Structures are given as structure tokens and as C-alpha cells.
């Protein structure tokens, strides 16, 4: 039906009890749009718009980039009423490899007051200064200073750092507390000027001390010369939890083997380290 407004413009209004489809004869929601490659009906995508008029008061915008995908759409934007004359918006995606019946998980949320929650990347910066030549072969782990700590807050120990030490010059100075649940993504290392041996540092990888337990997070030995940069992805034992007491360090335990091209050691110079984290920040 058509309705005339005061400006003389005509507005079209269509009231249907059934669903509306564009490019599809049997739409599953109030509005469903299909598109596909003319050469193949299995190539294309669909878009769905629906609303829950019940107590939940939710509005859905669903995306399925592959038209032939069975099950529900793997990505959604959902507007949810907060019950106080406001609403928040959630962004949901299905995990990779979820198959034909994906169950999307909320990844990010914009609250009605503008706060943004979700899984976000965070970078912590660490100073490290090896005050003396470690010797070759070395048999220790050089633990980094905490974020914001001084270079001389690093610490050398072949084992995990205990959680009971309280003295300022003990292992406690090289530890910090994890603020959110999440994981370590990667560690980036920049080496200072070389004062002697080449390479400047020779390691068997990277280690993690977490709550007094020792883990390896990168097990491929690497060598770096002066002024070089290395980027190392966390490959195992990457998950951390809020409140964990942690430290990350160069694994120089030559006795275990796997050092880059020979025995492990570290030169007396400065090192700059950035650790990339993925935190689940929901509060």
C-alpha cells in the first residue's frame, strides 16, 4: 500500500506475514538475500536479517560468504536490548574448522556506554642487559625484566622462577602478573652492538616461567648478530590466565642441545624485547 505524506513524496510500505527473499524462493528469515556466480550456483553468499520479538529483544544480521554452506551462517552482528532503554552490539564468528553446523562465539562487544570488550592484541616492552659474558657453553635461562622494569631487573637461572621470593634482588624482580586470560602470540628481539663474539646471541629458543613451572614456548634455536631483529611465534604452551606470575627469557641451556649452530651463549650488550599478547578483555 502507498501513503501520501505532507511533502508530497510517496512512501511504499509492504506488510507481509511471511519471509522475503531476494535471489531465493524459500527464505529462512524475515529477509534473506542470495547471490551466486552465474557459472556455479554453489559459489556465492547469503545475508540474513531477522529479529527476536520475544523477551530477548535481539536483532540479527548474519553473513554466510559461501552460498552452499550448510548449517547456520558463520558470522553475525547482533543487537541486544539491555533492558534499560539502551542496547549493546555483539560481533560473533564461528571458530575455524567448525564444519557444517558452526556455533558462532562472541568475539567483540560494544557496550551502550561506548566501552569495547573482546580479544585484543597488547604489546609489552622489556629491557634486557647481560652484564657479563655468559661463557660458551652457557647453561642458564636469561629471564627478561618485567614491562616497565629496568634493564638490570633481568635474572639468570636454569630453572623456573619461584613465586615465593620477596627480596628486591631475588627472582621476583624478573616476574610480572598477567592481567587477563589469553595467550602469547610472538616475541620480537632487537640486539644491540656486538662487543666481541659473532653471533651476539645463540639460543635454543624461548622459555616461559609461569607460577613456578618451566615451559618452552619456542623450540627452534636462533642466532642474532648486532643490530639484527628476530620475530618468533609462540608455538606451544602459549596460554596464560589472569593472575599468572610469569617471565619470558632466552633459553641458553646448552646441555639440552638444540642451540643455533653450536653451544649457547649471550654477549654482554643491550637487548630490546617486545612480547605480543592476545588478551580476552571482557571486563
Q: What pLDDT digit, counting tens, does each position of 197-220 carry? A: 677 889 999 999 999 999 999 999
Q: Report the pLDDT value the prediction gives residue 195, as an integer from 0 to 100.
A: 62
pLDDT at 189 over 80: yes
HEC assignment per residue over the chain: CEEECCCCCEEECCCCCCCEEECCCCCCCCEEEEEEECCEEEEEEEEEEEEECCCCCEEEEEEECCCCCCCCCCEEEEEEECCCCCEEEEEEECCCCCCCCCCCEEEEEECCCCCEEEEEEEEEEEEEECCCCCCCCCEEEEECCCCCCCHHHCEEECCCCCCCCCCCCCHHHHCEECCCCEEEEEEEEEECCCCCCCCCEECCCEEEEECCEEEEEECCCCEECCCCEEEEECCCCCEECCCCEEEEEEEEEHHHCCCCCCCCEECCCEEEEEEEEEEEECC
- The Cα-based distances of 87 to 83, 114, 115, 244 in angstroms read 8, 11, 12, 34
Domains and CATH numbers, the chain: 2-114 (no CATH), 121-281 (2.60.120)
Residue 146's SS3 state is coil
Cell numbers given for 59? 536483532
The angle subtended at Cα 216 by Cα 213 and Cα 219, nearest 5°, is 170
Q: Report the pLDDT value the prediction gives residue 199, as an integer from 0 to 100.
A: 79
**Percentage above 70 pLDDT, the chain:** 78
According to DSSP, the residues that pair with 118 across neighbouring strands are: 108, 281
Q: What is the pLDDT of residues 42-78, one digit of tens each?
A: 566 778 888 875 666 788 888 876 655 555 567 889 9
Question: At 11, is the pLDDT very low, low, confident or very high (cuts 50, 70, 90)?
Answer: very low
Question: At 10, is the pLDDT very low, low, confident or very high (cuts 50, 70, 90)?
Answer: very low
CA atoms lying within 13 Å on the CB side of residue 53:
1
- Tell me how far apart the alpha carbons of residues 50 and 59 are, in angstroms, rounded to a whole number: 6
Other C-beta atoms lying within 10 Å of the C-beta of residue 127: 19
Q: What is the pLDDT of residues 108-160, one digit of tens each?
A: 999 998 899 998 999 999 987 765 567 778 899 999 988 988 767 788 888 99
According to DSSP, the residues that pair with 128 across neighbouring strands are: 271
Supply the mean pLDDT for the chain. 82
Amino acid at each position: 500500500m502507498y501513503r501520501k505524506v505532507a511533502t508530497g513524496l510517496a512512501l511504499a510500505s509492504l506488510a507481509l506475514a511471511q519471509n522475503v527473499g531476494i535471489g531465493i524462493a524459500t527464505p529462512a528469515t524475515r529477509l534473506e538475500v542470495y547471490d551466486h556466480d552465474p557459472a556455479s550456483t554453489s559459489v556465492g553468499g547469503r545475508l540474513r536479517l531477522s529479529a527476536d520479538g520475544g523477551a530477548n529483544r535481539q536483532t540479527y544480521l548474519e553473513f554466510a560468504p559461501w552460498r552452499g554452506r550448510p548449517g547456520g551462517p558463520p558470522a553475525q552482528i547482533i543487537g541486544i536490548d539491555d533492558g534499560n532503554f539502551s542496547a549493546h552490539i555483539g560481533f560473533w564468528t564461528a571458530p575455524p574448522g567448525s564444519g557444517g553446523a558452526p556455533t558462532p562465539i562472541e568475539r567483540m562487544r560494544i557496550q551502550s556506554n561506548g566501552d569495547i570488550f573482546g580479544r585484543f592484541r597488547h604489546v609489552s616492552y622489556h629491557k634486557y642487559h647481560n652484564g657479563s659474558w655468559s661463557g660458551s657453553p652457557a647453561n642458564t635461562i636469561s629471564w627478561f625484566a618485567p614491562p616497565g622494569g629496568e634493564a638490570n631487573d633481568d635474572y639468570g637461572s636454569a630453572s623456573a622462577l619461584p613465586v615465593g621470593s620477596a627480596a628486591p634482588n631475588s627472582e621476583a624482580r624478573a616476574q610480572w602478573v598477567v592481567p587477563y586470560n589469553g595467550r602469547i602470540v610472538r616475541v620480537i628481539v632487537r640486539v644491540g652492538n656486538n662487543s666481541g663474539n659473532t653471533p651476539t646471541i645463540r639460543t635454543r629458543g624461548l622459555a616461559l616461567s609461569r607460577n613456578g613451572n618451566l615451559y618452552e614456548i619456542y623450540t627452534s634455536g636462533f642466532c642474532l648478530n648486532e643490530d639484527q631483529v628476530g620475530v618468533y611465534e609462540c608455538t606451544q604452551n602459549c596460554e596464560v590466565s589472569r593472575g599468572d606470575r610469569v617471565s619470558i627469557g632466552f633459553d641458553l641451556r646448552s646441555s639440552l642441545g638444540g642451540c643455533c649452530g653450536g653451544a649457547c651463549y649471550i654477549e654482554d650488550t643491550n637487548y630490546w624485547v617486545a612480547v605480543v599478547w592476545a588478551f580476552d578483555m571482557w571486563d
